[in-house]
Amino acid sequence: MVNILDLSYEELEEFLVELGEKKFRTKQVWQWLWNKYVQSFDEMTNISKAVRARLHEEAYIRWPEVVTSQKSKDGTIKFLLKLHDDALVETVLIPGSKGRYSQCLSCQVGCAMACTFCSTGTMGFKRNMTQSEILGQVLVARHYLNDVAERPILRNIVFMGMGEPLLNLENLLKSLNTMHSTLGLAFSPRRVTVSTCGIQKGLYELGESGLAFLAVSLHAPNQDVRAKIMPKAARWKLDDFMTALKNYPLKTRERITYEYLLLGGVNDSVEDARELVKLISQTKSKLNLIVYNPSEGDPYKAPSEEAVLKFQKVLWDKGVTAIIRQSKGADIKAACGQLVADQSKNEAES
């Protein structure tokens, strides 16, 4: 049997035809799954009981199970989710203006990149997530918010949760295509961002697809610092990475977003800022500065406010658009780099 949420529209059509159904059934079932968010075939009321019985025999609908949910004092909401094999992942709803939200999605159970400042890296890599598990996070969020695709509260998606998206490229691209379906979740590609720490395989394919904006987890102004804090990502030399980014396919008025995590005494000096200007000025870009949120036992400290402001001033003085991104959810370990799926920790923090 198959989790029907793992099928693309074309795969669903083929599946239904093999069951002896007409192709028009595909649109009906698809809308029930991705637009009306049903969790049982019995809820598909415009489909005959006989067809629903066949679907019960050959497929099932499984969402990730919500183990815990936590709400930060700033309104951020973090879900700990259990997958079909009891693997645990986290996803975060980030409040914005006018009652709207963005969602930070995970794409892997754990992460193989082991960046030294990221809690997820301490989990190691367990496995890739499927489409049903990636987009199941969106279904859980919309159900929680009592949201509808036609008038969405959940407006933006960022693949900045657990895992490296380009190391799960097949399921990422499949999920992005499903996410953009106007018959379903109906997210515009302009409201979806995929973040990578620098994976050569898949970067160009993502750009050619036009399915999402690109964000780059840079975090270092030169190869030496990058190798110390992101040793696995740094295997792709920074100069070569930047050359690839210069050739990355961009739409009109589109820019690459660089994410730069300021680590106290490591990459937050005025000289680091000057090096960073030279580096990212090679591409059409904007820069998000993120102030590090230390967790217990971390090897790094947060930068001083003075260092952050001096760093930003150097960038602005050189014409680089640099915004200090306000991290949210730090009190529930939901801020940048803090996701680590541990049920005992989540229960302790609740």
3-state helix/strand/coil string of the chain: CEEHHHCCHHHHHHHHHHCCCCCHHHHHHHHHHHCCCCCCHHHCCCCCHHHHHHHHHHEECCCCEEEEEEECCCCCEEEEEECCCCCEEEEEEEECHHHCEEEECCCEEECCCCCCCCHHHHHCEEEECCHHHHHHHHHHHHHHHCCCCCCCCEEEEEECCCCCHHHHHHHHHHHHHHHCCCCCCCCCHHHEEEEECCCCCCHHHHHHHCCCEEEEECCCCCHHHHHHHCCCHHHCCHHHHHHHHHCCCCCCCCCEEEEEEECCCCCCCHHHHHHHHHHHCCCCEEEEEEECCCCCCCCCCCCCHHHHHHHHHHHHHCCCCEEEECCCCHHHCCCCCCCCCCHHHHHHHC
Q: Pairing state of beta strands 285-291 and 322-325?
A: parallel
Known catalytic residue at 11: no
> Considering 104, 107, 197, 336, which one is annotated as catalytic?
336
Q: Could you list the residues known to form a binding site for [4Fe-4S] cluster, using ranges.
A: 111, 115, 118
**pLDDT value at 245 more than 60:** yes
Cα–Cα distance measured from residue 139 to residue 263, given in angstroms and rounded to the nearest whole number: 35
**pLDDT value at 339 more than 60:** no
End-to-end CA distance of the chain: 36
pLDDT digits (tens, 9 = 90+) for 63-93: 999 999 999 999 999 999 999 999 999 999 9
Instruction: Give the pLDDT score at 348.
Output: 44
**pLDDT value at 329 more than 60:** no
**Amino acid present at 162:** M
Q: Which two tokens stand for residue 262?
A: 């300021």
Inter-residue contact 32 to 43 (CB < 8 Å): yes
Averaged over 34-43, what is the pLDDT?
97
Question: Sorting pLDDT into bands at 50, 70 and 90, what band is 336?
Answer: low
**pLDDT value at 126 more than 90:** yes
> Considering 13, 21, 90, 259, which one is annotated as catalytic?
90
Averaged over 331-341, what is the pLDDT?
56
Please, how many CA atoms are within 13 Å of residue 168, restricted to the half-sphere of its CB? 29
Question: Sorting pLDDT into bands at 50, 70 and 90, what band is 349?
Answer: very low
Residue from 224, 279, 266 nearest 117 by CA: 266
Known catalytic residue at 336: yes
Question: Sorting pLDDT into bands at 50, 70 and 90, what band is 233?
Answer: very high
**pLDDT value at 219 more than 90:** yes
Q: Pairing state of beta strands 65-71 and 59-60?
A: unpaired
Cα–Cα distance measured from residue 46 to residue 293, given in angstroms and rounded to the nearest whole number: 50
Q: Sign of dihedral through CA atoms 243, 245, 247, 252?
A: negative
Instruction: Give the pLDDT score at 116.
Output: 93
Instruction: Write the CB contacts of 221 (distance below 8 Å, at least 6 apart in sequence).
Output: 267, 272, 273, 275, 276, 279
Cα–Cα distance measured from residue 193 to residue 181, given in angstroms and rounded to the nearest whole number: 16
Please, how many CA atoms are within 13 Å of residue 85, restricted to the half-sphere of its CB? 8
Question: Sorting pLDDT into bands at 50, 70 and 90, what band is 41?
Answer: very high
Q: Sign of dihedral through CA atoms 310, 308, 93, 182?
A: positive
Q: Could you list the residues known to form a binding site, using ranges.
A: 111, 115, 118, 163-164, 195, 217-219, 293
Averaged over 115-123, what is the pLDDT?
87
Cα–Cα distance measured from residue 268 to residue 302, given in angstroms and rounded to the nearest whole number: 10
Averaged over 226-252, what is the pLDDT?
96
Averaged over 198-213, what is the pLDDT?
96
Q: Which two tokens stand for residue 280?
A: 């990212």
Mean pLDDT of the chain: 93
**pLDDT value at 20 more than 90:** yes
